Structures are given as C-alpha cells and as structure tokens.
C-alpha cells in the first residue's frame, strides 16, 4: 500500500488525479454532435452499456436528480436519440431505450475519441508507449474499483 501522506507517492497521486481530470475534460470535447452536452452523451453511453432503463434508474446511474433526468430524456427524445416505451411490468412507468441513430452517433464519437488518443499516443516514444500500454489494465481496475459519489 502506498504512503499517500507525503513524498513520491503523494506526488504521484496528485499527478495521476490532475492528468486524469485534464485528459477526461479534453476527451469529453471530442464528440461528433456538439449540440449534445457531456451529460446527454453520458446518458446515451449508459444506455448503450447497460441497456434500457427507467428514468429513475438513469438518474441514479448518472448521479442527477430525477427531474433533471426527465428533462434530459425529453431533450434526447426530441432529437430522435431515445424512445420512451411502456415498462413491461408496470404500465405506469416508462423505459428509456436508445435508438439506432444514437448508437451510430456513439460509435462515430468513440471512433473520433480513439483517433484523438491515438494521435496523442503517437507523440510518445517507444518506452513511454510501452509504459502506458502496461498501465492500461491498472487504470481500468482503478476505474472499476471506484465507488460512485454519494
């Protein structure tokens, strides 16, 4: 376990945090449809990754209030990116499902982001690239260990 209170470990954690935040912000701006907010893109990505969900489930997954999610879903529906259907078990509820248009937009966005990262990685020397490639499994583990904010 690293000693995060001082020294090289604390500096490494600080650099890791700062770098991930900066790359994340820059990556969010590499999207195909500039009319969508990062939150709207995140909702579409969640639907793509997890499948259809009720607006309440989406609000929990995206860490927003239900009224905010209702507005987001309405905006996405008006753009033809999601559709609302009756819940299979409770007709009083709705289920949000992504459309084919949303899926192809997400695929194009992933491709653009991958191209952007590839261009960045192309500026690394061979040793740096090997280190980064070796670190990807550790970064993935960190991403999946993280608990959602409360």
Residue 113 maps to a domain: yes
Domain that holds residue 60: 7-145
The Cα 143–Cα 77 span in angstroms is 30
Measured CA to CA, the distance from residue 75 to residue 88 in angstroms comes to: 23
Quick: pLDDT tens for 69-91.
Answer: 999 999 999 999 999 998 778 77
Residue 86 lies in a domain: yes
54-66 pLDDT, tens digit each? 999 999 999 999 9
Number of domains within the chain: 1
CATH of the domain at 12: 1.10.10.10
Lookup result for tokens 């905010």: 68
- pLDDT tens for the chain, 150 residues long, are 666 667 888 888 889 999 999 999 898 888 787 788 888 999 999 999 999 999 999 999 999 999 999 999 999 999 999 999 987 787 788 999 999 999 999 999 999 999 999 999 999 999 999 999 999 999 999 888 865 554
């Amino acid at each position: 376990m690293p000693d995060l209170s001082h020294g090289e470990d604390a500096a490494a954690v600080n650099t890791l945090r700062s770098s991930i935040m900066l790359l994340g912000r820059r990556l969010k701006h590499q999207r195909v449809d500039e009319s969508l907010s990062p939150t709207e893109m995140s909702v579409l990505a969640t639907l793509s990754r997890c499948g259809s969900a009720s607006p309440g489930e989406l609000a929990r997954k995206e860490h927003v209030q239900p009224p905010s999610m209702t507005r987001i879903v309405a905006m996405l529906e008006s753009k033809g990116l999601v559709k609302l259907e009756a819940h299979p078990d409770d007709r009083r509820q709705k289920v949000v499902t992504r459309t084919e248009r949303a899926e192809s937009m997400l695929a194009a966005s992933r491709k653009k982001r991958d191209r952007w990262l590839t261009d960045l990685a192309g500026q690394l020397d061979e040793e740096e690239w090997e280190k980064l490639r070796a670190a990807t499994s550790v970064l993935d583990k960190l991403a999946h260990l993280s608990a959602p904010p409360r």
